[in-house]
Amino acid sequence: MGLMNADAFRASLRDGRTVYYRGRRIPDVTAEPDLNLGVEHAVLDYDMAHDPAYRDVAVAKDRESGTEISAYYQIPRSADDLLARSRLIEIGTQRGGTIPPLIKEIGTDALFALLRVLAGDALERARAFYRHCRDGDLAVAVAQTDVKGDRSLAPHAQADPDLYLHVVGRDQNGIVVRGAKAHTSASVNSHEVIVLPTRAMGPEDADYAVSFAVPIATKGLSLYVSSFSGGDHNSLEFPLSSKSRMLESITVFDDVFVPWERVFLCGEPGLAAPLALTFVEYHRFTAVSYKLPLIDAFVGASASIAEMNGVAKAGHIRDKLAALITYAETVRALIEMAALRARIGQHGIAYPDPMTVNMAKFTFARRYHSMVALVQECAGGLLVTAPGAEDWEAPEVRRVLEKYLRGKVPAEERLRMMHLIGDITVRDFAGYHAVLAIHAEGSVEAEKLQILRSYDPRKALSLARKFAGLDRS
């Protein structure tokens, strides 16, 4: 079928999907400006494949068929494949102004997990679905996090049984599911959504151990899209967020029918944790890859604004820049190392070293807010008192601003850099990034746990015992 182009992609989203935004049912997502911002953000991905400057990274040759496919769909077989994938995600995110397109990254993270963890019929169904997505060059969202209710209780023990997505009926044709997933990224502008379980489950949670895929425009499936940071944003004050936005939904399954060929897991609670975990390891690798442009921008914007303010040589500024560089480059080194330490999993599918991935994500997340503080310290109070676009447009005001807001460079240059820093460290968009740093792709606590689990303690334990004189080997 070949690689989809931008217009075909836009058209494909006008399929009767059930989308609510700001309290209203939206008949055509491409016609609603806030939502279309997300659509056009996804177009970045489709355009890359057709842009000679990016074809090398964005398009791959399928190893089975030899045909051209979106490089996201390339199943990784080696460290080099993982490195290429990481660079593809980084470049896509640079183009997306710190927001990844995310219409294939997360979907393939889930697909690789399904292709590794499943077996038998379920594996065949997953393979068929993978080929369907790859050959159709489809955009695929993943709905994993349940709404959860009281988190101290297991799925089956909640006051309302629907607080975790579960199977409420089944027959020879398929299953019927009910429940809601939270924080589903890029569902509005995807073609399909893969549902994964969110945690380990016990025998009593069997009905909650369910994984499947359905088209977004499926009967009973409704997306309630978050209006966070919606509305118009001018490009002076919001250089990135005026163009880039991730759309998140609460994704409600109101007795949705799923045919068996789209069901990957049903009633096997023992597979819930392996599936959830395998996905999330791929996804943390994706995540750190797409964080790189943001933290590079921290370094670059801090160095720029310090220079513009005339303080680049101050000892404490140099200290802050050294800390920002160490942060950004440690995260980069760790994610690169996670790829270089690639392991080969089931069916020859490669995956990044789990401990190293989790250290990368943990290092990124744990120190993120402190780094934001350093960037803000380099910039100054104008971050929240600088004039806005309307001031700049008014000639009699602009004249005053040009006189008084110059640093070592003209006022406009300084203002634009200041507003970039505002966009990524102060404004709604910055808050979005900060919350993502902590909560997306699993919390900081989850990463800590995975570091513990994936670390091989034998070397350290035997060294300690030998040093203590307990083992004489």
- The reply on whether position 154 binds a copy of itself by CB under 8 A is no
**Among candidates 282, 355, 291, which has minimal Cα distance to 327?**
291
Binder of a copy of itself out of 328, 339, 342, 349 (CB under 8 A) = 328
- The reply on whether position 173 binds a copy of itself by CB under 8 A is no
The least CB distance from residue 127 to a copy of itself, in Å, is 32
Binder of a copy of itself out of 74, 98, 198, 278 (CB under 8 A) = 98
Handedness of CA 298, 301, 304, 308 (dihedral sign): negative
Question: Which ranges constitute the DSSP H helices of 367-443?
Answer: 368-379, 382-385, 389-393, 395-404, 411-425, 428-439
- The reply on whether position 386 binds a copy of itself by CB under 8 A is yes
- Find the part of the chain contacting a copy of itself (CB under 8 A) among 6-14, 41-49, 134-142, 160-168: 160-168
Q: 18 or 70, CB closer to a copy of itself?
A: 18
Q: Strand 18-21 to strand 221-225: parallel, antiparallel, or no bridges (unpaired)?
A: parallel
- The reply on whether position 293 binds a copy of itself by CB under 8 A is yes
Handedness of CA 74, 78, 81, 87 (dihedral sign): positive
The whole-angstrom separation of Cα 19 and Cα 29 is 8
Q: Give every CB contact of residue 280 below 8 A, 6+ residues apart in sequence.
A: 441, 442, 446
- The reply on whether position 157 binds a copy of itself by CB under 8 A is no
The least CB distance from residue 262 to a copy of itself, in Å, is 23
The least CB distance from residue 460 to a copy of itself, in Å, is 3
Binder of a copy of itself out of 143, 186, 356, 357 (CB under 8 A) = 356
The whole-angstrom separation of Cα 113 and Cα 302 is 38
Interface with a copy of itself in residues 393-412 (CB under 8 A):
393-394, 397, 400-401, 403-408
Binder of a copy of itself out of 296, 350, 352, 354 (CB under 8 A) = 296
The least CB distance from residue 464 to a copy of itself, in Å, is 3
What the block records as the tokens of 46 is 């489709």
- The reply on whether position 377 binds a copy of itself by CB under 8 A is yes
Q: Give every CB contact of residue 394 below 8 A, 6+ residues apart in sequence.
A: none
Q: Which residues of 197-221 are buried (b: 16+ CB within 10 A; e: fewer)?
A: bbbebeeebbbbbbbbbbebbbeeb
- The reply on whether position 43 binds a copy of itself by CB under 8 A is no
Q: 347 or 408, CB closer to a copy of itself?
A: 408
**Among candidates 460, 436, 455, 473, which has minimal Cα distance to 183?**
436
Binder of a copy of itself out of 136, 220, 325, 345 (CB under 8 A) = 325
- The reply on whether position 32 binds a copy of itself by CB under 8 A is no
Q: 4 or 372, CB closer to a copy of itself?
A: 372
Q: Most distant CA pair in the chain: distance in Å?
A: 83
Q: 153 or 344, CB closer to a copy of itself?
A: 153
Binder of a copy of itself out of 175, 188, 216, 355 (CB under 8 A) = 355
Q: Strand 140-143 to strand 192-195: parallel, antiparallel, or no bridges (unpaired)?
A: parallel
Rama region for 139: left / alpha / beta (φ>0; ψ in -120 to 50; rest): beta
Interface with a copy of itself in residues 46-85 (CB under 8 A):
none
Whose structure tokens read 């809601």?
Answer: 180
**Element spanning 222, H or E:** strand 221-225
What residues are paired with 419 via a beta bridge?
none
The least CB distance from residue 393 to a copy of itself, in Å, is 6
- Find the part of the chain contacting a copy of itself (CB under 8 A) among 2-10, 150-158, 194-202, 269-277: 150-158
Q: 220 or 267, CB closer to a copy of itself?
A: 220
- The reply on whether position 240 binds a copy of itself by CB under 8 A is yes
